[in-house]
Structure 1
Amino acid sequence: MNAVVQLTAATGRLESAVNSLTERVGEVRDGQDALQARIEKVERKMLIAATFFSLIIAIGGIILGTAGFVANKAIDFGLEMAKSKMQEQTPPIPPPANTSK
Structure 2
Amino acid sequence: MRRFRVAVVLAVTTLASTALPVLAAAPAAANSADCLQYLKGKGYETSMSNRDGYWIRHGCFGGHMGTGDELTDTYCLNSLEKGHVSAIDRIEACSLARERPYGVW
Largest Rg, 1 or 2? 1
Mark yes or no: TM-score above 0.5. Answer: no
TM-score scaled to structure 1, two decimals? 0.34
TM-score scaled to structure 2, two decimals? 0.33
